[in-house]
Amino acid sequence: MTGCENQASIFAPGGQFVKNNSMKRATVPKPAKSVRSPDQPEAENPAAGQVLELQGRVQGHRDGHGFVHPEDGSPSLLLPEEEMQRTMHGDLVLVRRRGFDARGRRMGSLLRVIEHARARLVGRVVEERGVSWVVPEDSRIKHDILVAPADLSGARAGQVVVVDITVPPSGQAQAAGRIVEVLGEVNDPGMEIEIAVRKFEVPAVFAPGALAEAEKLPDRLRAVDLRRRIDLRDLAFVTIDGQDARDFDDAVYCERAAEHGEFRLLVAIADVAHYVKSGTGLDEDAQLRGTSVYFPRRVIPMLPEKLSNELCSLKPQVDRLVLVCDMVVSASGEVNAYQFYEAVIRSAARCTYEEAWGILSRTDPIALRRHPAVVEAFDRLQQAHLALASARSARGAISFESVETRMVMDELGRIQRIEARQRNDAHRLIEECMLAANLSAADFLIRCQHPGLFRVHEGPTQERLQKLREYLAQLGLELGGGEKPRPSDYARLSERVRLRPDVLLIQSMMLRSMQQAVYSPHNQGHFGLAYEAYAHFTSPIRRYPDLLVHRVIKALVHRKRFALARSGDAMAQWEQVGTRCSAAERRADEASRDVEAWLKCQFMKERVGDVYPGKVSGVAPFGLFITLDELYVEGLLHVSELGNEYFQYNEPSQELRGERTGRRFRLGHEVLVQVSRVDLEARRIEFGIRGLTRRRSQRNPPAGADTHADAHAKPLQSTEDPPRQRRPGGKTTRARPPRKARLGTLRS
């Protein structure tokens, strides 16, 4: 480990520990950006150095307009609907700055399309008066694709198809295309996944070269694979994963040191880099995918199954190659020293979270009899976990307790029910072990002064922070830290509201104030975890950044350096791969959410007319978002359902207030709603209000029941999606309310 600070091994199996006097590292603050209010127009003065023409990517909006995000990082420009007639979501365009709209947003004029991003779309066939066209499934694309009879490829009206765009939209001419694949009927089992894969351009088919390389790999370990590796097959490593997991990429083991109350914590991660070499076909496919994509009942893996489910999966009682993070953890939970080395292990047991908790709590006699060899190891792991958790709390890491749900599916892939998933100490145990290993990996990169990818989560922006403070003030709460709050300030506020009935809503607002985590070679720390440096090391089977971190560490272990390419600017190359990995992660998240939204709409179509209690989980100028208590499904209660009056939207207090009656609807308010309509195409569930008092859910409530604001309720509509009103080959004219911005999750 050339260039690293070393210490003699403490009961080490032949490696060397890196002494960790302090994991803290100074971060480089970013320069503050000036904020211009909408009523302060910027001067259009080329002589002053302002660029009037900008190049950027188009982001379409479901309401027809769009935005251009300039490549130079300057503020986005609004493209009105008439400008979007000549371009599509994702296109690279050249625009000119112009005035502001009524809401103070800077607008742009489209000069030309530099590059069309989408040559292929997925959508449904519509036919009217002998004319056929394809309506894109992506609501950000408002151009219907005209298809000549000779190019239908046998597709019928209503079917889901893939169409190649042969003539892009120009403003004067309708976009045209040729159908190249007929996926089937919209209600076919699994259709939601087929649509999402194509809609978000998720790579789902491995290249022939990658599959050929995977098939050439040996089915079992050879003697040559064990050279220069530490043999840890006598240690009782254990894997803890979900019931449905098939790829086991991490195993843990712990023993108690003889002195000072320290723990020896070993986190063994599948040595994917041993099999997937840089520059190979397998590596190219893995980099293209960036991550595995998880859907209900189906996974699109980053690596072929021979690797993800076999060679690299740490199955019980099977020899497997691993890269080990071997740590010395103090009684107070600090990682005092660590070392990395290549090893071979034989997992003693594969446990689910429920089994692991049953062993830890001694409440599952079946699990105790099934895994007697790991009972003592579990006890030591639990002790180490409690120490690590105490250190996490002491440093002020943010911990939000949210309701996690699980979809229980039938044999056709439809939702039977949605149920809450309970977290237990087995989840937290594995989480703390992985955090410690990831922390050590980041520290190792810094100490060895080697470029790599960090997991960066920066603090809240001033704009988001101001909105959060205004919301908290309405509740009589305050976030400490002034203009630059620390993670500990968030943690103290989270603890202060822990017993409040609106704790989940307050925590969701706190979460919205934060930025999204990204991959970058420039370490800026991890705000949510209160780490000065953090990297992803523990999931190389399903995340490409982890695989890259493994390659760097393995090179350093062998006193070498790792380079992404043989020549060129190394830091620029790391920046590019970090950007691609971040984009791949967002793509996977969007595809997964789209499938979940589809399935929930299918689930609720059978419940139109039913009445359920729920809570206001979001407030917008156009209405309220209600999450049903019993079903864990969210839908829109449009403002027109609230009564025959105007409602004012107060963003700081997150409420709608009636101008005439003064009635208020705020986050957390309990309401009784009736499922009025389900729009599968728009992935939207709509409610009508039935009252403000909690009641048991009921089907077909009796006539004359007390229903607040019922006089203004709209009649129930059919469960079928309403027909779209079109001219032949024309665009949609049916108005749609804006979609709620999705609440992200704080990810480590």
Contact present, 107 and 80 (Cβ < 8 Å): yes
Angle between helices 425-447 and 353-361 (to 10 degrees): 110
Print burial letters for 126-151: b (CB count within 10 Å at least 16), e (below 16). Answer: beeeebbbbbbbbbbbbbbbbbeeeb
Helix (H, G, I), strand (E, B) or coil at 449: coil
Contact present, 327 and 337 (Cβ < 8 Å): yes
What pLDDT is attached to residue 95? 94
The CATH topology of domain 607-712 is OB fold (Dihydrolipoamide Acetyltransferase, E2P) (2.40.50)
CATH of 52-115, one of 2.40.50.140, 3.30.390.50, 3.40.50.300, 3.30.1330.40: 2.40.50.140
Measured in degrees and rounded to the nearest 5, phi and psi for residue 210 equal -65, -45
CA atoms of 651 and 152, how far apart (whole Å):
48
Q: Which residues contact 18 (CB under 8 A, 6 or more apart)?
A: 1, 4, 5, 6, 7, 337, 338, 339, 443, 444, 447
120-186: same fold as 52-115? yes
In terms of residues, how long is the chain? Answer: 748
CA atoms of 233 and 477, how far apart (whole Å):
54
What pLDDT is attached to residue 170? 85
In 277-316, the DSSP E strands lie at 293-295, 298-300
CA atoms of 538 and 544, how far apart (whole Å):
11
What pLDDT is attached to residue 73? 81
What pLDDT is attached to residue 116? 92
What pLDDT is attached to residue 34? 33
Amino acid type, 534 = Y
Amino acid type, 90 = G
The CATH topology of domain 120-186 is OB fold (Dihydrolipoamide Acetyltransferase, E2P) (2.40.50)
What DSSP designation does 690 have? E
Domain ranges of the chain: 52-115, 120-186, 206-458+516-594, 462-512, 607-712
Of 84, 145, 95, 88, whose CA–CA distance to 116 is shortest?
88
Extract the residue ranges of the chain whose pLDDT is less than 50.
Answer: 1-14, 22-49, 694-748
Contact present, 519 and 581 (Cβ < 8 Å): yes
pTM for the structure as a whole: 0.84
Contact present, 192 and 595 (Cβ < 8 Å): yes
CA atoms of 741 and 269, how far apart (whole Å):
36
Query: For residue 711, is it left (φ>0), alpha (ψ between -120 and 50) or beta?
Result: alpha
Residue pointed to by tokens 């809450």 = 420
What pLDDT is attached to residue 566? 86
What pLDDT is attached to residue 51? 61
What DSSP designation does 311 have? I
Q: How far is CA 690 from CA 329, 611, 639, 713, 731, in A?
A: 56, 8, 14, 8, 35
Q: Quick one: which H or E segment has residue 336?
A: strand 335-346
In 233-282, the DSSP E strands lie at 238-241, 250-256, 263-270
